[in-house]
Structure 1
Amino acid sequence: MQFSNYAICRKIHPTTTSLAKKANTHQGDNVRHSCALTALLALSGNCLAQSSVDLYGIVDVALRGSSGLAAGNSPAPAGHTAAVSSGIDNTSRWGLKGREALGNGWAAQFRLEGGINADAGTQAKSDRLFDRQAWAGIETPYGALAAGRQTNLISDALIPVDPLGKRYAAFNPNINVAGLSNTAFGTHAFGRQYGPSGYADNFYRLDNTVKYTANAGPLLARAAWSFGEVPGDTSASSSHGAALAYQRPEWTVSGAVEQFRSREDLVLNAWTLGAAVRAGAWQFKANIARNKAGTGPDKTVRQRVLSAGVSRQLMPDLLLTTAWYRVRRVATGFQDDGFDRAFLFLEKTLAPRTTAYAEADHTLWHGDAAGRSGSQPNARHGTGLTLGLMQKF
């Protein structure tokens, strides 16, 4: 949905109205009338291209049944759970984005985006209206510069190479563990905030971030700095990093490195590297990611994620995607743990903006990763089945 300011158009092109009036007073002169209408449409079209604001979003709702998993997919004692879930194929969200041409290849732009719990009609983050993105920036012939709340560079690098295509964000290990969206699972966690994310154990999106993006043919480069804004200490709660991708129609390689610091100047270092290859109707993706966080004096948490997957276009409107993830964690003072998780997605395109899908997943917990619910141990296996509908606007 697009909104344009016609009043601005009239100011930019004051001759438009006079041309239309002149044409109306000479209705017998078909040539002049046609010229006036042509000029009107051309000038208005140019103006519409100058400035625009778009309202967009995704509503994804599904019926889900699971065993050994709670409604929010945390480990649970053996037993079945039925739920209405949001954002399984793609995160439910809404947003506004705008762009205004400044001339000579320059443009101003902005984006505001918030997550939605479509099953309950609530904000994904109750303390933030635009928890996903909130930034403004300048696009130039030499690259784009944006400032505000933005995704970290590890997340950006995963976009083309995540085996699931970043589906099921709340349950996707590349988003949660590699991308640092939800590092807490099992019996322990990082337990603090690294970088200016605003949350403990979630550093996928960062406040106060300046990000530069440049394209040079098949090369895509990014660099970012997130200000911690701690008085007297410019490194505390800050983050910085770089990402590089080489993209061709048949294959892509993408990677990033980033460092995050806590308010106490404890360091979290993370990196990711992956590749995607397309062969006809088949697409193969694989990625490796690691991170290591200092959590206290002589204490660390180390995590690694290996992932691989295959997608097959069965028919023009039917896509099958399979993916496997292996997560392992080593933490000072705790037993080594982790989990293996497999997915299958079948998506049917019903219309350009509407997709129906079926999903299945299976998780095997290792070590103490399953944890306990009160005095009862959680199941070591978790299985889920989903039927859902996603609509974009």
Structure 2
Amino acid sequence: MRHSCALTALLVSSTTCFAQTGVDLYGIVDVGLRATDGLGANNAPTPPGRTSAVSSGVDQTSRWGIKGQESLGGGLKALFRLEGGINADTGAQAKSDRLFDRQAWVGLDSPYGQLAVGRQASLLSDALIPVDPIGKRFASLNPNINVAGLSNTAFGTHAFGRQYGPSGYSDNFYRLDNTVKYTGTVGPWQARAAYSFGEVAGDAAASSSHGVALAYQRPDWVVSGATMQFRSREGLPLDAWSVGAALKLDAWQFKANAARNVADTGPGKTVHQRVLSAGVSRQAGRDLLVTTAWYGVRREATGFRDDGFDRGFLFVEKTLGPRTTAYVEADYTVWRGDAAGLTASRSNDRHGTGMTLGLMQKF
């Protein structure tokens, strides 16, 4: 009986504490039925042939998180956020080695800006938020996330082959450990600066990253860009930048972005990547949003044939409720050079198509 009373008291006190500090549980569960031709279940090129699958995160990445804040007086607030990706089709964590692979940080917010410390998205990711033509949807297939934002550099013969910055992975530098990020807003201007510690003994620059970002935001238009440099453990540099704009005219919204990155991958070896993208969205009625976009990726690597791909998207989203959206997505990819590659010595299809019917629920 004493244990039961103690547990009840603990739960009550915890609830009171949470209410005072404003702790919230939130997330997205996005699952769709996807059919492809010339693309595998993981959206990699395949020989001609159709594939069907249940996919997670085609509209918005499935995730869950905990966030909170506490007022400290004088306009000062303490903040924290813990967020992890979910493969909603299997129930697995997006990253098996990390519970909170997307965000894990604590910070302070004041009239002079916000300072956050921990695992956070890169400044390239931040800069893309308002200007990506499809609104950073379909993260596993979106070239601005994969190529411009450096979330998948292991693609084909032009792979970087090493880790740059403290991301924890050899092919993904979209989110970085050990990061100190400052965000300041003055009128329509928003500026960010970040430094990620490599924490390599005896070499402060190794595996580190740093950069700045700047955005100018008005009610109907925005310009947003960022530049960053990453270092490998061996001191090899990866330099990247991204800049884009968005314009809203009545029910129409236009977005465009340009990005480029250059990595030294070894003595006398480099990989160059560039992405151009543009798209338009229209609110077709109160509950229907139609978005279409095109992305062009071009890549050069020492010792390899230049390659790349062009990819188009169409999203039609129907709002069913405040937290529920049904959607249809279609995509078409044309591979250039040797980008399509081989599967078991058989040439992959030079074209890839996909279509998804999905449902997204937010909580």
**What TM-score do you get using the length of structure 2 for normalisation?**
0.95
Gaps spanning 5+ residues in structure 2: where? 1-10
CA contact (8 A) 2:116 2:182 kept: yes
- CA displacement, residues 18-76 of structure 1 (integer Å, 9 cap, x when unaligned): xxxxxxxxxxxxxxxxxxxxxxxxxxxxx95x521000000000000000000000000
Aligned CA distance change for structure 1 residues 8 and 344 (closer, same or farther; 3 Å): closer
SS at match of 1:289: strand
Aligned CA distance change for structure 1 residues 10 and 134 (closer, same or farther; 3 Å): closer
Q: Among residues 227, 231, 234, which one is paired with 1:261 in the alignment? A: 231
- CA displacement, residues 268-290 of structure 1 (integer Å, 9 cap, x when unaligned): 00000000000000000000000
Q: Among residues 32, 39, 50, which one is paired with 1:80 in the alignment? A: 50
Aligned CA distance change for structure 1 residues 10 and 57 (closer, same or farther; 3 Å): closer
Q: Which amino acid aligns with 1:103?
A: G
Gaps spanning 5+ residues in structure 1: where? 12-46
- The residue correspondences of 1:87-236 to structure 2 (distance < 5 A) are 87-236=57-206
Q: Identity over the aligned pairs, expressed in percent?
A: 73
- CA displacement, residues 141-173 of structure 1 (integer Å, 9 cap, x when unaligned): 100000000000001000000000000011000
Q: Which amino acid aligns with 2:81?
A: R
SS at match of 2:239: strand
Question: What is the CA–CA distance in structure 2 between the aligned matches of 1:59 and 1:222, rounded to whole Å?
Answer: 30
- CA displacement, residues 282-310 of structure 1 (integer Å, 9 cap, x when unaligned): 00000000000000001000000000000
Q: Among residues 346, 358, 361, which one is paired with 2:316 in the alignment? A: 346
Give the number of the structure whose alpha-carbon radius of gyration is greater: 1
SS at match of 1:231: coil
SS at match of 1:187: helix
Question: What is the CA–CA distance in structure 2 between the aligned matches of 1:375 and 1:6, rounded to whole Å?
Answer: 63
SS at match of 1:349: strand
Partner residue in 2 for 1:300: 270
Question: What is the CA–CA distance in structure 1 between the aligned matches of 2:92 and 2:327, rounded to whole Å?
Answer: 23
Partner residue in 1 for 2:331: 361
Alignment RMSD, CA only? 1.4
How far off is 1:187 after superposition?
Answer: 2.4
How far off is 1:183 after superposition?
Answer: 1.6
Partner residue in 2 for 1:238: 208
Question: What is the CA–CA distance in structure 1 between the aligned matches of 2:39 and 2:49, rounded to whole Å?
Answer: 8
Question: What is the CA–CA distance in structure 2 between the aligned matches of 1:234 and 1:247, rounded to whole Å?
Answer: 35
Question: What is the CA–CA distance in structure 1 between the aligned matches of 2:158 and 2:223, rounded to whole Å?
Answer: 33
SS at match of 1:175: helix
Q: How many residues align?
A: 353
SS at match of 1:64: strand
- CA displacement, residues 255-276 of structure 1 (integer Å, 9 cap, x when unaligned): 0000000000000000000000
Question: What is the CA–CA distance in structure 2 between the aligned matches of 1:391 and 1:155, rounded to whole Å?
Answer: 23
CA contact (8 A) 2:158 2:300 kept: no
Q: Which amino acid aligns with 2:355?
A: L
